Amino acid sequence: MKIRKAVIPAAGYGTRFLPATKSQPKEMLPIIDKPTIQYIVEEAVAAGIEEILIITNSQKTSIENHFDRSWELEYFLVRKGKTQELEQIQHISEIANIHTVRQKEQKGLGHAIYCAKAFVGNEPFAVLLGDDVVDHDTYPAIKQLCDQYEALESSIVGVQEVPYEDLNKYGIVELEKPLKDHVGKLVGMVEKPDSSVAPSHFAVLGRYVLTPRIFDLLEHQAAGHGGEIQLTDAICGLVKYEGVYAYEFSGKRYDVGSKIGYLEAILDFALKRDDLKEEVKVLLKNKTKE
């Protein structure tokens, strides 16, 4: 079955980026001149996804505005003859069918995903977390997972290997056997384990394709790590009912939820842009000399 729907949780407070996120959603922080969430939405669209639900809260209206028409700005750009800019901003509002729902209490990622139950209905769906930007020139990470879903018809979590000292920052998968051709069956998953007891070195990095049965588990999921309802724990429960797989996706992943990951994303994306790369290279050269 083709994956048509995606869910993007964006209801967190973004405390790691205070004070920038005091009155502005962290998902709207730009990587150069495009909000982070637009990269995530574009990845989903490039994977053929038609309907996107963004989980927000009362502080996130600028996300809704970003994907809506902006008549005043459009009129201004028409008058000024700024055709290119006009096309660019009109494109954003036409990119996909964007829906929003508010998470009324901050009870964790699992609870945020549960808010998508009515939108998803009875079909498999993709989940993309906004703190993980994955760059791939030709094959978007979520498309890789959707293709695996079509082959396996089972829930898939997107993983990559992370250094030992970082294992306690992620959901870590426990595999039945070592990955073969980048795929492996899950036995379980642990949210942010102590590195010394982590079941593998493969971390879930913000990309999932899940079957709708996950909602049955989320509905009764008790709070876990950090006192929050964890998606990881519900996936662990799902393993008891149906096959769940890990897929090692390719692509450069940036942790834009961390300051250094965010900075690296800005530099790398700038170095890929024809209008910026030469100047950025000179800038970096001069900075390293300093």
Q: How far apart are CA 170 and CA 148, in angstroms?
A: 22
Q: Which parts of 223-282 interact with ligand G1P (CB under 6 A)?
A: 230-232
CA 30 to each of CA 36, 38, 162: distance values in angstroms, whole numbers, following the listed order:
6, 9, 26
**In Å, how far from its chain's centre is CA 129?**
2
Q: How far apart are CA 85 and CA 87, in angstroms?
A: 5
**In Å, how far from its chain's centre is CA 214?**
18
Task: Give the nearest distance from C-beta 191 to ligand G1P in angstroms.
Answer: 5
CA 163 to each of CA 37, 166, 250: distance values in angstroms, whole numbers, following the listed order:
26, 5, 17
Q: Which parts of 184-223 interact with ligand G1P (CB under 6 A)?
A: 191, 203-206
Task: Give the nearest distance from C-beta 28 to ligand G1P in angstroms.
Answer: 17
Residues 6+ apart with CB under 8 A from 18: none
Task: Give the nearest distance from C-beta 23 to ligand G1P in angstroms.
Answer: 22
Number of chain residues interacting with ligand G1P (CB under 6 A): 14
Q: Which parts of 57-86 interact with ligand G1P (CB under 6 A)?
A: none
Provide the mask over 121-160, with x wherever binding to ligand G1P is found by CB under 6 A and - wherever it is not: --------x-xx----------------------------
Q: Which residue is nearest to ligand G1P (CB)?
A: 171
Given the rule CB under 6 A, which residues bind ligand G1P?
109, 129, 131-132, 170-171, 191, 203-206, 230-232
